[in-house]
């Protein structure tokens, strides 16, 4: 009798756990209200947008780039948002963001393709701080940044956690020696 009771309890527990997983999956499938998400994470009189970890992806980034308020941003934090090379290209081709001074893009997936497009962008004329660490960037992307004339006011560049050869790191150090801060090693 006890064995049968334990068996029924085990089956019932399994049923409850599987139902909860199905509910959780349904919740994840609900559409995102990007307008609400952006409004809730906008601060400092509309000058700072922190979307860190919101995982908006390329789709959310496209919607963000169409918003009028982004022209007023001084700081934009998009780390941990699953932005691919395609999203990086969209960002690179976006409307000009003349007030943006700090752009945090760490822990996405720009790769070389997205980084090269970004290096050739004219959308960020006043950018002072650019964080591209942990973006699957290799030598071609880093060298495109080193040779870029798109960021005339850049003071700080973070490329930690990418896959750069020693020769590329040396080129970055030489070409970007004018920067206040160039971070290319994880221990920096």
The ranges assigned to domains in the chain are 41-183
Give the long-range contacts of residues 175-183, CB within 8 A, separation 24 or more.
175/146, 175/147, 176/146, 179/154, 179/155, 180/155, 180/156, 181/155, 181/156, 181/157, 182/156, 182/157, 183/133, 183/156, 183/157, 183/158, 183/159
pLDDT tens digits, 76-98: 999 999 999 999 999 999 999 99
User: b vs e for 72-108, b when ≥16 Cβ sit within 10 Å of the residue's Cβ?
Assistant: ebbbbbbbbbbbbbbbbbbbbebeebeebbbbbbbbb
pLDDT at 24: 36
Nearest-CA neighbor of 69 among 101, 95, 105? 95
Backbone φ, ψ for residue 115 (5° rounding)? -70, -40
Q: What does the pLDDT average to over 162-171?
A: 97
Which CATH number describes the domain made up of 41-183?
3.80.10.10
Distance, CA of 111 to CA of 97 (rounded, Å): 23
Residue pointed to by tokens 């691919």: 84
pLDDT at 1: 57
16 vs 99, residue with greater confidence: 99
pLDDT at 30: 80
pLDDT at residue 74 is higher than 60: yes
pLDDT at 21: 44
* Percent with pLDDT over 70 in the chain: 83
pLDDT tens digits, 105-152: 999 999 999 999 999 999 999 999 999 999 999 999 999 999 999 999
43 vs 11, residue with greater confidence: 43
Average pLDDT over the chain, rounded to an integer: 90
pLDDT at 102: 99
**pLDDT confidence bin for 23, thresholds 50/70/90:** very low
Q: Strand 181-183 relative to strand 102-104: parallel, antiparallel, unpaired?
A: unpaired
């Amino acid at each position: 009798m006890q064995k049968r009771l334990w068996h029924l309890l085990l089956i019932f527990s399994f049923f409850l756990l599987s139902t909860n997983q199905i509910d959780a999956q349904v919740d994840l499938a609900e559409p995102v209200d990007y307008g609400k998400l952006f409004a809730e994470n906008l601060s400092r009189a509309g000058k700072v947008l922190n979307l860190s970890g919101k995982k908006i992806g390329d789709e959310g980034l496209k919607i963000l780039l169409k918003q009028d308020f982004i022209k007023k941003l001084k700081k934009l934090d998009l780390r941990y948002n699953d932005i691919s090379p395609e999203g990086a290209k969209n960002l690179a081709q976006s409307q000009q963001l003349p007030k943006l001074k700090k752009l945090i893009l760490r822990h996405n997936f720009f790769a070389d393709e997205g980084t090269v497009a970004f290096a050739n962008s004219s959308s960020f004329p006043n950018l002072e701080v650019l964080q591209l660490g942990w973006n699957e960037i290799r030598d071609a992307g880093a060298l495109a940044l080193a040779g870029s004339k798109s960021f005339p006011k850049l003071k700080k560049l973070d490329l930690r956690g990418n896959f750069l050869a020693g020769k590329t790191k040396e080129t970055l150090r030489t070409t970007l020696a004018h920067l206040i801060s160039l971070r290319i090693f994880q221990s920096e």
